[in-house]
Amino acid sequence: MYTQAAFQEDRPDLQHALIRDYPLGTLIATGGAGVTADLIPFILYPGEGARGVLRAHVARGNPVLEALREGSEVLVVFQGEDAYVSPSWYATKAETHKVVPTWNYAMVQVRGRPRVVDDGAWLRRVLDDLTDKQEAALPAPWRVADAPAEFLERIAQAIIGIEIPVASIAGKWKMSQNRGAADRLGVIAGLRSVGRDGAAALVEATLPPAVKAA
């Protein structure tokens, strides 16, 4: 991943938070059948292993399993907030007109060697953890145990677990950090004007303390 120094984000707490908030990762694997890319919801266990462990499940018929069983390193990409940035939001536009559009975004890339797990108890734990995390904010959270046991047994026979110990993790927060304070404030106002409050908040979080206090 190409990352300019201004956009590099190495803090594990922020990297892990993005994975928790945007758990639908793109799993990219290479095997005998070529390159595959699958959108899969993951759950991160940050306290396990040297750098944490990603766990998920896929359908037993998914061709990605062939590549995963080969044990080659895979890449999982987690995409956070993103937004188009108009040059008209920059204070610099009125001064020089030497501005162009860009795109702001936050992302985390995880690399590791996968393991296919065919174990009912392991799989049930992952299903419970993933479901409980996603249902927690709902007024009437659904639990896996709410489904009939025989139905769950049929579902379990159709899926299989995958585990990826994190070998490396990299974050990129491209949030206008390469622009001056006036331009960044203009981006925040512009994003909020088009309803992109989440992206605006991320830009605001990257402002120097002196600018935030102004």
| Beta partners for residue 174, in sequence order | 105
CA dihedral (177, 178, 182, 187) positive or negative: negative
CATH number of the domain residue 172 falls in: 2.30.110.10
pTM: 0.91
Domain containing 54: what range?
5-86+103-178
Residue 38 falls within a domain, yes or no?
Answer: yes
| Beta partners for residue 34, in sequence order | 31
- DSSP category for residue 207: S
Grouping H, G, I as helix, E, B as strand and the rest as coil, residue 82 is strand
Residue 94 falls within a domain, yes or no?
Answer: no
Residue 41 falls within a domain, yes or no?
Answer: yes
Residue 186 falls within a domain, yes or no?
Answer: no
Residue 32 falls within a domain, yes or no?
Answer: yes
| Whole-number Å distance between alpha carbons of 190 and 104 | 13
Which pLDDT tens digits describe the chain residue by residue (214 residues)?
888 889 999 999 999 999 999 999 999 999 877 899 999 999 999 999 889 999 999 999 999 998 898 888 999 999 999 999 999 999 888 888 888 999 999 999 999 999 999 999 999 999 999 999 999 999 999 999 999 999 999 999 999 999 999 999 999 999 999 999 999 999 999 999 999 999 999 899 888 876 665 5
Give the number of other Cβ atoms within 10 Å of residue 29's Cβ.
24
Residue 210 falls within a domain, yes or no?
Answer: no
Residue 92 falls within a domain, yes or no?
Answer: no
- The tally of domains found in the chain comes to 1
Residue 184 falls within a domain, yes or no?
Answer: no
